[in-house]
Structure 1
């Protein structure tokens, strides 16, 4: 079994913001797989389904970004899922808009949602799909930037990135993380 969790902040106030890239990718993945992510469990909206022969749980933690580990850790404990079978999709300000970066482990890289997940899982060894949202302007506060929305001219680029993140998650489950890294970790 795999847990595929998209990070973001709940409530309409944060819809379509840079920080909600994970939620957006989960919505695309759920639509593609025909999974309804509406069950309220483990402080998240969840839905179960299959990717190939593997059972998957799609999750959108409702704990707010900085406490994402509370939800994902509880889910991993309940379903007895090894951290190496958890895929986290999140935003990344260190990547250009729309670019993906897949990793099998690593530090939080300054991302508070990932930091909390590492803390709750007790390991850095879980899979990640980082979706580039672009570098913040120097004069702008980080919170204001990640909680801001994309300009109109970048919306199509980001919609494509969410589709690619969904495809990457499927490939990670069916063909392994190495295959997904070889395919998606390319410069744009």
Structure 2
């Protein structure tokens, strides 16, 4: 099985959204770029901030700058340009159905009401890509969800999310070489 060739972290661009829960995917990409010495820059033709994922010459990191609801435009642009198949893509996103402090890998499935995933499904024409779900917890009331994801977390909750992101970056080399089972085992174990 091929490894991951594109890691796309979802979020909303701009200072206003920087510390909101919806930007967990951006936080992941920023940390991974920092850890790996990868340089990201604005790429207008890719509708995002992108760069080669060091030390890999054929693998990419991406932060779409299209806003969450149009994330597919950027993911599809880079995938088409570099001939990356959906199965070689990992989308990192905030996940309401996991508590803060948990991160889980999965392949395929529905979008669970996540507008970024919904748009990526449509743009790629398939739900068959990898996801890294960063738990942000749930406000408890469906009517509060939009407000909740666009707000910053409390200190303890933020620390739990940061810790789960650090743990998740530790399995990226396994994902790069296609060892998904080992990556899941490592990430999902306490």
What is the TM-score normalised by the length of structure 1? 0.92
The alpha carbon displacement at 1:50 in A equals: 3.2
Residue of structure 1 in register with 2:96 after alignment: 93
In the superposition, relative to structure 1, how do residues 106 and 139 fare at CA in structure 2: closer, same or farther (>3 Å)?
closer
Q: Secondary structure at the match of 1:107?
A: coil
Q: Which runs of 5+ in 1 are unaligned?
A: none
Instruction: Tell me the CA shift for residue 48 of structure 1.
Output: 0.7
TM-score normalised according to structure 2 size? 0.91
Q: For 2:54, which of 50, 60, 77 is the aligned residue?
A: 50
Count of aligned pairs between the two proteins: 186
Q: Please list every run of 5 or more consecutive structure 2 residues that lacks an aligned counterpart in the other structure.
A: none
Aligned mate of 2:159, from 151, 156, 163: 156
* Structure 1 runs (4+) greater than 3 angstroms displaced: none
Whether 1:59 aligns to 2:62 is yes
Structure 1 residues 15 and 54: CA distance shift in structure 2, 3 A: same
Q: CA deviation at 1:142?
A: 1.1
CA–CA distance in 2 between the matches of 1:101 and 1:121?
22
> Deviation of residue 175 (structure 1)?
4.7
Deviations 1:131-159 (A, max 9, x none): 00001132852111000111012222121
| Structure 2 SS opposite 1:141 | helix
